[in-house]
């Protein structure tokens, strides 16, 4: 008991000691500036905005909740502080830094009207040369409405254009990061895991961009704050809702109708957003096999409360999310698919008088999915995932800019899965387990030319019985070699204790059940190395080069030789991937340009046999262009190129005799049917893929309403990209043809 109490007191004592020592050393020289950057019309946080002090050439970016902190400001002087954000009028505020106490300054920016959006000069771009942010992409949510979209804006489709990300075709929103499976990507909505974030057989994201305030995409060696997955983290923060007035936004596309209602409540705000499919005609462009009766919706809400009389600088939020997808042919001879997501959470964010930030989160997330075969040839499947979690995170920033962070996480997970495979063997899993983990990290930021983020996660108890007592160390380093050249590197070990049961040969995985990795296997582990540089070609143009090497062990792979109910469902394999990523970006002024090229190799190994995974592509090129034409007009273009994906070649057929009755005799005991003779797995390559999409949008105002009309031309030159070859008929099935889609959006 005494030992337990000491361990509880020690971390707090260490924080106080470090904070006090740091303040003593720097109290006589420097002050600090802190605050929130928000939208003046709604009070919504402006994430990833710029705050810059020209006189001393230092600044900071706001975080995902609009909070900024600038350290090491010389005292006894008045400074001009510039606040800027894309699409908003830049503001300059005078502030006097008197002593070492924190100066709190909350600033609201005014959105530019339509006519001025290409005239307003942006504020200084904040470049933190020692920022440890390798492989981190801040997704510009507003840009999604400008760029071409297959049907409507989609955040997952946007991520597919990032270097290091590959797909199996433009018919799916699923993506694969640096040689990892799609189930190795963690999707967080307000810090809560969302297990199946897709609509329409995986063709679109189930998260409507209209309700997103900020989104970060972390690929590769992310820091110790995140755990549970091997490849990437998509961290989405939803909007709080308008704190100033009531508002209504409505929109319609050829696939869905959507609406968003928001407004103030005493000491807070609320937001309700929903989307519902109304037609499946456009899906014929994707599926090419007639109308598919897909019916889906998603609904989310958020309530926020903040009062200085209760807790100063605190915000309490309650949020929820629900989605449903049903594919029902209303035919007893056809199968039915049904899956649902439900998520609920509570969050307490606290900013303290000292430069300290904490977050307490309590959440429940549930997924349910089922394949009902009726009288079709499919086999029944059912899956349930219930996830309950409690998280506490803390971050302290010292006067010398160094940071100390840490957290505690409790997760309780229950998974159920039932299926019968093609040979009649059954799988019936009912698992319940818990994970208790702690993490700590220290960011060394006090030297202008060098930054380091060193930390580790410790799994005190694991979901998989073999996962307890494991440590996941992480290191992230940055060094500014020249004024315009920064070197970056990262290394880490990652652990994953859950997996999906996915047939690697399926092009569209309709149903991907989640399970805890059984205890006859060890959890999946990955060791990753990242390195690269950032070179500023000019003030508005930067070049980034990254190399990566990644190995994965204990990779769960479906056992295709499960003939008896007692046979294992999974067997253990391994994976290896490595490559280079090059990107050039310009995100200043009316032009938003991004060019990227990825050179990648991916391999899997099972029972000594090495093969290419279905998402392995050697070369990827992405060109993204957005241009603000002024007067409410915007244009966009996206061009993609990818070398051919692997596939298993067909060598021929032979007549195979199938027994209809193993106990029968005579001439009617069986029949001959054609049997495919396949070559080595995924040894063939499809033709190269490329496609050009264009878009044009117009914003305008009528009385008190704001309108936006958008039109997209998909696959402009009608490239016939091969999707697959039907082995039964010999037909070549192509991906999306040329077509035009449009959306209308109204804001009151």
Count Cα neighbours of 202 within 13 Å in the Cβ-side half-sphere.
19
Is residue 193 domain-resident? Answer: yes
pLDDT of residue 311: 81
> What confidence tier does 631 reach under pLDDT thresholds 50, 70, 90?
confident
> What confidence tier does 17 reach under pLDDT thresholds 50, 70, 90?
very low
pLDDT of residue 92: 92
> What confidence tier does 291 reach under pLDDT thresholds 50, 70, 90?
low
Residue with tokens 């407004």: 263
Domain boundary pick from 116, 137, 169 = 116
Is residue 136 domain-resident? Answer: no
Strand 102-104 vs strand 30-39: parallel, antiparallel, or unpaired? parallel
Percent of all residues in the chain with a pLDDT value above 90, rounded to a whole number: 44
Tell me how far CA of residue 167 lies from CA of 109, 175, 244, 445, 721, in angstroms. Answer: 38, 5, 42, 37, 13
pLDDT of residue 670: 63
User: Residue 75: CB partners within 8 Å, gap ≥ 6?
Assistant: 29, 30, 31, 97, 98, 99, 100
The pair of three-digit structure tokens given for residue 741, joined into one six-digit string: 């889609």
> What confidence tier does 26 reach under pLDDT thresholds 50, 70, 90?
very low
Closest CA to 197 of 323, 292, 286: 323
Q: Are 642 and 589 members of one domain? A: yes
Closest CA to 523 of 148, 227, 310, 145: 227
pLDDT of residue 453: 93
Domain boundary pick from 116, 137, 166 = 116
> What residues pair up with 585 in beta bridges, in sequence order?
542, 594
User: What is the pLDDT averaged over residues 644-665?
Assistant: 67
> What confidence tier does 103 reach under pLDDT thresholds 50, 70, 90?
confident
Is residue 623 domain-resident? Answer: yes
User: Residue 338: CB partners within 8 Å, gap ≥ 6?
Assistant: 324, 325, 326, 327, 328, 369, 370, 372
Residue 492 CA to its chain's centroid (Å): 19
Structure confidence by residue, pLDDT tens digits, 260-282: 999 999 999 999 999 998 877 77
> What confidence tier does 116 reach under pLDDT thresholds 50, 70, 90?
very low
Q: Are 415 and 324 members of one domain? A: yes
Whether the Cβ atoms of residue 232 and residue 218 lie closer than 8 Å to each other: yes
Q: Are 271 and 258 members of one domain? A: yes
Q: Is the pLDDT of residue 735 over 60?
A: yes
Q: Are 307 and 433 members of one domain? A: yes
Residue with tokens 């339509």: 114
Give the total number of structural domains in the chain: 3
Higher pLDDT, 475 or 136: 475
Whether the Cβ atoms of residue 367 and residue 514 lie closer than 8 Å to each other: yes
Q: How many helices (H) and strands (E) does the chain have?
A: 3, 48
Query: How many angstroms separate the first and last alpha carbons of the chain?
Result: 60
**Dihedral of alpha carbons 142, 147, 153, 157, sign:** negative
Which string of DSSP letters, residue by residue, matches 70-81? Answer: EEEEESSEEEEE
Q: Are 289 and 410 members of one domain? A: yes
Q: Are 356 and 487 members of one domain? A: yes
Q: Are 456 and 517 members of one domain? A: yes
CATH number at residue 93: 2.60.40.1120
Whether the Cβ atoms of residue 415 and residue 431 lie closer than 8 Å to each other: yes
Among 131-140, 156-165, 171-180, 383-392, the range of highest mean pLDDT: 383-392
Is residue 620 domain-resident? Answer: yes
Q: Are 579 and 654 members of one domain? A: no
Degrees, nearest 5: CA angle 538-539-543: 55
Domain boundary pick from 95, 116, 137 = 116
Higher pLDDT, 578 or 564: 578
Q: Are 87 and 222 members of one domain? A: no
CATH number at residue 688: 2.40.170.20
Q: Are 635 and 655 members of one domain? A: no
User: What is the pLDDT averaged over residues 678-703?
Assistant: 88
Closest CA to 202 of 292, 309, 335: 292
Give the largest CA-CA distance in the chain: 104
pLDDT of residue 337: 86
563-577, 635-649, 689-703: segment of lowest average pLDDT: 563-577
Is residue 172 domain-resident? Answer: yes
User: What is the pLDDT averaged over residues 140-165?
Assistant: 85
Tell me how far CA of residue 211 lies from CA of 138, 254, 270, 735, in angstroms. Answer: 17, 20, 12, 30
Is residue 123 domain-resident? Answer: no
Structure confidence by residue, pLDDT tens digits, 600-626: 999 999 988 999 999 999 999 999 998
Exposure class string for 468-480: b at 16+ Cβ within 10 A, else e: bebebebbbbbbb
Degrees, nearest 5: CA angle 46-48-49: 65
Q: Are 577 and 606 members of one domain? A: yes
User: Residue 320: CB partners within 8 Å, gap ≥ 6?
Assistant: 300, 301, 302, 342, 343, 344, 345
- Whole domain around residue 619: which residue ranges? 155-648+683-747
pLDDT of residue 537: 84
The pair of three-digit structure tokens given for residue 4, joined into one six-digit string: 């337990």
Structure confidence by residue, pLDDT tens digits, 342-352: 999 999 999 88
Whether the Cβ atoms of residue 298 and residue 206 lie closer than 8 Å to each other: yes
The secondary element (H helix, E strand) that includes residue 284 is helix 284-287
The pair of three-digit structure tokens given for residue 535, joined into one six-digit string: 């070179």
Let me know if 62 is exposed, middle or buried by CB neighbors in 10 A (0-12, 13-18, 19+).
Answer: buried
> What confidence tier does 203 reach under pLDDT thresholds 50, 70, 90?
confident
Structure confidence by residue, pLDDT tens digits, 407-416: 999 999 999 9
> What confidence tier does 336 reach under pLDDT thresholds 50, 70, 90?
confident
**Going edge to edge, which strands form the sheet with 50-53?**
58-61, 50-53, 77-84, 91-97
Q: Are 512 and 656 members of one domain? A: no
> What confidence tier does 3 reach under pLDDT thresholds 50, 70, 90?
very low
- Report d(CA 507, CA 448) in Å as an integer: 49
Higher pLDDT, 220 or 576: 576
pLDDT of residue 361: 95
Higher pLDDT, 163 or 23: 163
- Report d(CA 114, CA 628) in Å as an integer: 10
Is residue 122 domain-resident? Answer: no
Is residue 209 domain-resident? Answer: yes
Q: Is the pLDDT of residue 12 over 50?
A: no
Q: Is the pLDDT of residue 379 over 60?
A: yes
Which string of DSSP letters, residue by residue, matches 626-677? Answer: EEEEETTEEEEEEEEEEPPPEEPPEEEEEEEEEES-TT--STTSEEEEEEEE
pLDDT of residue 570: 86
pLDDT of residue 675: 64
Residue with tokens 């209760």: 310
Radius of gyration (Cα) for the chain, nearest Å? Answer: 27
Exposure class string for 508-530: b at 16+ Cβ within 10 A, else e: bbbbbbbbbbeeebbbbbbebbb
Whether the Cβ atoms of residue 620 and residue 600 lie closer than 8 Å to each other: yes
Exposure class string for 552-582: b at 16+ Cβ within 10 A, else e: bebbbbbbeebeeeeeebbbbbbbebbbebb
């Amino acid at each position: 008991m005494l030992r337990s109490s000491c361990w509880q007191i020690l971390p707090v004592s260490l924080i106080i000691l470090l904070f006090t020592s740091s303040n003593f050393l720097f109290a006589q020289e420097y002050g600090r500036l802190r605050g929130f950057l928000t939208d003046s019309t709604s009070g919504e946080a402006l994430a990833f905005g710029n705050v810059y002090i020209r006189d001393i050439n230092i600044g900071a970016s706001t975080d995902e909740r609009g909070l900024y902190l600038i350290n090491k400001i010389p005292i006894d002087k008045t400074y001009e502080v510039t606040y800027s954000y894309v699409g908003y009028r830049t503001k300059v505020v005078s502030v006097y830094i008197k002593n070492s106490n924190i100066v709190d300054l909350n600033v609201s920016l005014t959105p530019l009207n339509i006519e001025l959006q290409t005239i307003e000069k942006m504020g200084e771009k904040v470049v933190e040369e020692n920022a440890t942010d390798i492989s981190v992409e801040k997704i510009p949510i507003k840009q999604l409405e400008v760029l071409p979209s297959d049907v409507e804006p989609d955040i997952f489709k946007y991520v597919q254009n990032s270097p290091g990300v590959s797909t199996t075709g433009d018919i799916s929103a699923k993506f694969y990061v640096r040689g990892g499976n799609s189930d190795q990507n963690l999707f967080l909505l307000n810090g809560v895991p969302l297990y199946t974030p897709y609509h329409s057989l995986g063709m679109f994201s189930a998260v409507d961009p209209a309700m997103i305030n900020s989104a970060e995409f972390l690929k590769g060696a992310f820091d110790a704050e995140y755990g549970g997955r091997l490849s990437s983290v998509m961290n989405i923060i939803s909007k709080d809702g308008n704190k100033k007035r009531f508002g209504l936004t409505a929109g319609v596309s050829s696939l869905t109708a959507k609406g968003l209602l928001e407004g103030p409540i005493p000491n807070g705000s609320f937001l309700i957003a929903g989307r519902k499919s109304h037609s499946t005609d456009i899906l014929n462009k994707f599926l090419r096999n007639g109308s598919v009766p897909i019916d889906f919706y998603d609904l989310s809400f958020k309530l926020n409360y903040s009062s200085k009389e209760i807790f100063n600088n605190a915000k309490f939020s309650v949020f929820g999310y629900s989605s449903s997808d049903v594919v029902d042919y209303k035919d007893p001879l056809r199968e039915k698919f049904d899956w649902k997501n439900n998520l609920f959470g509570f969050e307490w964010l606290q900013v303290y008088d000292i430069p300290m930030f904490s977050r307490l989160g309590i959440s429940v997330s549930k997924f349910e999915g089922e394949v009902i075969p009726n009288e079709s040839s499919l086999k029944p499947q059912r899956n349930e995932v219930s996830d309950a979690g409690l998280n506490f995170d803390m971050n302290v920033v010292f006067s010398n800019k160094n940071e100390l962070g840490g957290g505690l996480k409790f997760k309780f997970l229950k998974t159920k899965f039932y299926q019968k495979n093609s040979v009649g063997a059954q799988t019936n899993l009912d698992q319940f387990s818990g994970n208790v983990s702690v993490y700590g990290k220290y960011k060394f930021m006090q030297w202008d030319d060098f930054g380091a983020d060193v930390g580790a996660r410790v799994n005190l108890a694991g979901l998989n019985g073999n996962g307890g007592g494991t440590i996941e160390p992480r290191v992230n380093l940055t060094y500014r070699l020249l004024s315009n050249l920064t070197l970056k590197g990262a290394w880490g070990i990652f652990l994953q204790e859950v997996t999906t049961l996915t047939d690697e040969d399926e092009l569209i995985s309709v149903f991907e059940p989640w399970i805890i990795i059984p205890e006859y296997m060890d959890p999946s582990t990955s060791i990753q190395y990242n390195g690269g540089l950032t070179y500023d070609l000019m003030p508005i143009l930067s070049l980034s080069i990254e190399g990566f090497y990644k190995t994965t062990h204990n990779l769960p792979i479906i056992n295709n030789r499960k003939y008896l109910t007692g046979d294992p469902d999974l067997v253990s394999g391994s994976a290896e991937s490595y490559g280079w990523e090059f990107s050039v970006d310009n995100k200043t002024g009316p032009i938003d340009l991004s060019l990227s090229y990825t050179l990648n190799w991916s391999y899997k190994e099972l029972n000594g046999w090495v093969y290419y995974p279905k998402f392995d592509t050697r070369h990827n090129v992405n060109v993204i262009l957005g241009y603000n034409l002024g007067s409410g007009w915007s244009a966009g273009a996206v061009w993609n190129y990818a070398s051919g994906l692997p596939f298993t070649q067909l060598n021929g057929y032979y007549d195979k005799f199938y027994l209809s009755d193993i106990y029968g005799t005579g001439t009617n005991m069986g029949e001959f049917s054609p049997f495919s003779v396949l070559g080595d797995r995924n040894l063939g390559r499809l033709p190269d893929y490329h496609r050009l999409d264009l878009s044009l949008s117009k914003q305008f105002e009528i009385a008190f309403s704001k309108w936006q009309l958008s039109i997209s031309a998909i696959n402009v030159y009608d490239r016939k990209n091969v999707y697959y070859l039907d082995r039964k008929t010999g037909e070549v099935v192509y991906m999306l043809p040329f077509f035009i889609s449009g959306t209308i959006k109204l804001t009151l």
